[in-house]
Amino acid sequence: MLLERNASKIEETKKEVAWNIAYHTVRLDKLKNKFYDVLDFEKYTVKAMTTQSYVTTFRVPKMSEFLNKNIEQFRNLIAQEVASKENNDFEDDDENLEDEKVDILKHKTDVKKPTAASHAHKTDAEKKREERKIQRELRKKKIEKLLKKEAMVNSNEDAERNPAIIEAKATFGMCNLKMAHEYEVPDNQQINFSKKR
């Protein structure tokens, strides 16, 4: 009898504790939804080990659904445009390569001017050699085109060596008036010894 009472009291206590845990968990979840779920990332602090220095980040709120949808649409438009441009470039390259292949073949026929007898004596190995040679030349031209494109993209490296750009970077933010090398002060604004006196 005593054991049954103790067991019922233990069960009742467990239910009360479970209710308290559930109540506080729900409250905590509501607070998190209100204050933390609206953040893109939370504020955190990084402290130094040897000194008292520390760095703290900002709390950044999430963007609205409207902005996210617009950004996603914008990214899709850009991706479509890039994909269509790449397709056009590849189609143009393929057309150009076909034209070049025809030019190479014409050039070879102009140079050699094969006769029907010499054409009949060509073996399969010779034909394959010629085809591989043509393919090598086409690949070489394609690589040259890609290198030209890469040179256009890597023009920033040339900008690093350009003295005008170096000077512009060095003097960025200096708002001195009339700083250009070509600028000449007008005569009526020039000051010399006699005018000063």
What pLDDT shows up at residue 25?
92
> In the predicted model, is pLDDT for residue 102 greater than 80?
no
For residues 60 and 41, the answer to whether their CB atoms sit within 8 Å is yes
pLDDT at 27: 92
Average pLDDT in the 21-31 region? 91
pLDDT at 81: 86
Q: Which amino acid is at 67?
A: L
* Greater model confidence, 145 or 91: 145
Tell the burial category of 126 from Cβ atoms under 10 Å away from its Cβ (0-12, 13-18, 19+): exposed
Q: With pLDDT > 90 as the criterion, what percentage of the chain qualifies?
A: 7
pLDDT for 155 = 63
Q: Region 79-87: what's the mean pLDDT? A: 82
- Residue 176 pLDDT more than 80? no
**Helices 65-112 & 124-153 angle (0-180, nearest 10):** 140
Question: Is the distance from CB of 101 to CB of 134 less than 8 angstroms?
Answer: yes
Rounded CA-CA distance 7/1 in Å is 10
